[in-house]
Chains A and B, each alone.
Chain A
Amino acid sequence: GENVEQHPSTLSVQEGDSAVIKCTYSDSASNYFPWYKQELGKRPQLIIDIRSNVGEKKDQRIAVTLNKTAKHFSLHITETQPEDSAVYFCAATIMEYGNKLVFGAGTILRVKS
C-alpha cells in the first residue's frame, strides 16, 4: 500500500553479513509494526513485531528499530544464513483506514553461501 513504503525491493548479501530492510509510514498515529517472512510457495509468518511504546526489540539474530519522529522502522538480521533467504514484508496499522494493517511491497532477500 502507498501508506507503507519498503526498501530495498531486493537485497543480496553474503552469508554471515548483516541485512537491513527499511520501511516508512505516513500515519503518525500508527502503533503496531510487524514483520513477516514468506518463503517461496509458503504462507507469510510473523518473525518479530514492535509497538509504538518501544524503540527497539531483539530476538536472537533479528531486531527491529522504530523511529516514531521520522516515521520509519527497520529490520536487522545479523549473521545471515542461507535459510534467511525469503521475501520480507513490513506492515503498519493505518488509522486513516480504520486501524487496518497495511503491508509494504516486500523485499526479496538472497543470502549467498
Chain B
Amino acid sequence: DAGVIQSPRHEVTEMGQEVTLRCKPISGHDYLFWYRQTMMRGLELLIYFNNNVPIDDSGMPEDRFSAKMPNASFSTLKIQPSEPRDSAVYFCASAPGRSEKLFFGSGTQLSVL
C-alpha cells in the first residue's frame, strides 16, 4: 500500500479563493482524520469520519470549512473563502480502529496570501 495520499503537496492562493484539499486513506482503514498544524496551535483535530460518516466536526474552526467523504477511498477538506490565518499544514490520517496507530499523509502546505 502506498500509504495515505494527499494532494496537493503545496497550495498558494489568494485570500477569498476556494481551496480544496484531497486525501486517499489506506485501504481497509475505517477511520479518517483531518488535522491542522501550526506553530501556535500545534496539531489540531478538525474532523474525523468513521465508515465515511462524519462523527465529530467540533474542531472545524468556522463555517468556511467543510469536509466530505463520499466513499471509503476519498475525502476532501474545503475552505471557502480562504483567509491568511488559514495558512498551515493540513494533514490527513487514517487508522484501522479508533484507538489505533494513525498513519499520516505527507500533508498539504497551504499559504493564503
Contact = CB atoms under 8 A, between A and B. Distances in A.
Contact of A100 (B45, B105, B107): B45
A99 B45 CA distance: 12
A7 B45 CA distance: 21
B99 A32 contact: yes
A56 B56 CA distance: 31
B101 interface: yes
Contacts of B42: 1, 89, 103-106
A45 interface: yes
Measured as residues with beta carbon below 8 angstroms from the partner, the interface class of chain A is: 20 to 34
B102 A46 contact: yes
B61 to A, nearest CB: 14
Contacts of B43: 44, 89, 103, 106
Given A44-B43, A100-B45, A106-B42, A49 B101 contact: yes
Nearest to A44: B104
B91 interface: yes
Contact of B99 (A31, A36, A44, A103): A31
A28 B59 CA distance: 22
A100 B56 contact: yes
Contact of A93 (B44, B58, B99, B107): B99
Contacts of A46: 101-102
28 contacts: A1-B42, A1-B44, A31-B99, A34-B101, A34-B102, A43-B91, A43-B104, A43-B105, A43-B106, A43-B107, A44-B91, A44-B104, A45-B104, A46-B102, A51-B99, A89-B42, A93-B99, A97-B58, A98-B55, A99-B98, A99-B99, A100-B45, A100-B48, A101-B102, A102-B45, A103-B43, A105-B42, A106-B43
Given A36-B102, A97-B56, A101-B99, 4 more contacts: A34-B101, A43-B106, A93-B99, A100-B45
Closest 5 CB pairs of A and B: A32-B99, A43-B104, A103-B43, A46-B101, A105-B42
